[in-house]
């Protein structure tokens, strides 16, 4: 099968342990993967980065200009892109990576859903975050300590993902909220009928 990873872009390392077909019309399947640890830069999709006006009257803003700023999540994407491309305390540019991760956290259940949903509809019981994967030289235990420091008031934070087991379903094209929900439901159907793997409600579902 042809790789979906763009040439030259780093992505978190994983091993495919199993591939499962799903009992419904169509050729749907999901993979059980074991991910190795990696690091990310993250920003809230509910808040906008602020600006600072220092004594020299030059404004520092992590937002990278976008061709279509009206796209949902554009401000979050721009803040993360700005951080990677050198708008950080060390002014150090890093290489772009893949994938872009969005995470919806349900406050009441403390259950995370990781997806590519770019819809800006907010729910009072949910928070949304977007993350870029950092280059692999920042994936070790001290990686985020050695990574460039985000600008003050940028809202960008650095985190380390410990990896672990993930169930993954892949689909192409631009993902609308409706598309994301469709494939979430298909993946959950597969896992609900899986005799070996079950959903950990205290962990992430990919």
Alpha-carbon distance of 132 to 100, in angstroms, equals 5
Look at residues 21, 39, 13, 2 and name the one whose alpha carbon lies nearest to residue 133: 39
Q: Please give the mean pLDDT across all residues of the chain.
A: 78
- Token output for 156: 């960008």
Distance separating alpha carbons of residues 202 and 206, to the nearest angstrom: 13
Residue 148's SS3 state is coil
pLDDT at 26: 64
From edge to edge, which strands make up the β-sheet containing 204-205?
Answer: 157-161, 38-44, 126-133, 100-106, 111-115, 204-205
Residues 90-138: tens digit of each pLDDT? 999 999 999 999 877 665 433 344 444 434 444 555 678 899 999 999 9
3-state secondary structure at position 10: strand
Strands 111-115 and 204-205: parallel
Pick out the chain residues at pLDDT < 70: 1-6, 24-26, 47-74, 105-126, 202-206
pLDDT on residue 25:
55
pLDDT score of 86: 96
Using CA atoms of 159, 11, 194, 128 in order, give the dihedral in degrees to the nearest 10: 40
């Amino acid at each position: 099968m042809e790789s979906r990873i763009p040439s030259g872009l780093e992505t978190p390392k994983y091993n495919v342990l199993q591939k499962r077909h799903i009992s419904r019309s169509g050729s749907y399947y999901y993979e059980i993967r074991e991910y190795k640890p990696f690091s990310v830069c993250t920003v809230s999709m509910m808040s906008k980065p602020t600006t600072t006006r220092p004594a020299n009257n030059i404004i520092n803003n992590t937002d990278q200009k976008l061709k279509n700023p009206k796209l949902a999540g554009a401000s979050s994407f721009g803040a993360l892109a700005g951080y990677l491309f050198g708008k950080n305390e060390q002014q150090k540019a890093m290489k772009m990576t893949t994938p872009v991760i969005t995470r919806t956290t349900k406050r009441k259940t403390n259950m995370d859903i990781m997806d590519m949903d770019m819809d800006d509809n907010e729910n009072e019981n949910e928070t949304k975050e977007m993350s870029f994967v950092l280059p692999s030289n920042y994936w070790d235990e001290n990686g985020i300590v050695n990574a460039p420091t985000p600008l003050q008031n940028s809202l960008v934070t650095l985190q380390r993902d410990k990896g672990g087991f993930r169930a993954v379903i892949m689909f192409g094209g631009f993902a609308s909220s409706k598309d994301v929900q469709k494939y979430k439901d298909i993946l959950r159907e597969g896992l609900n009928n899986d005799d070996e793997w079950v959903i950990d409600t205290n962990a992430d579902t990919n």
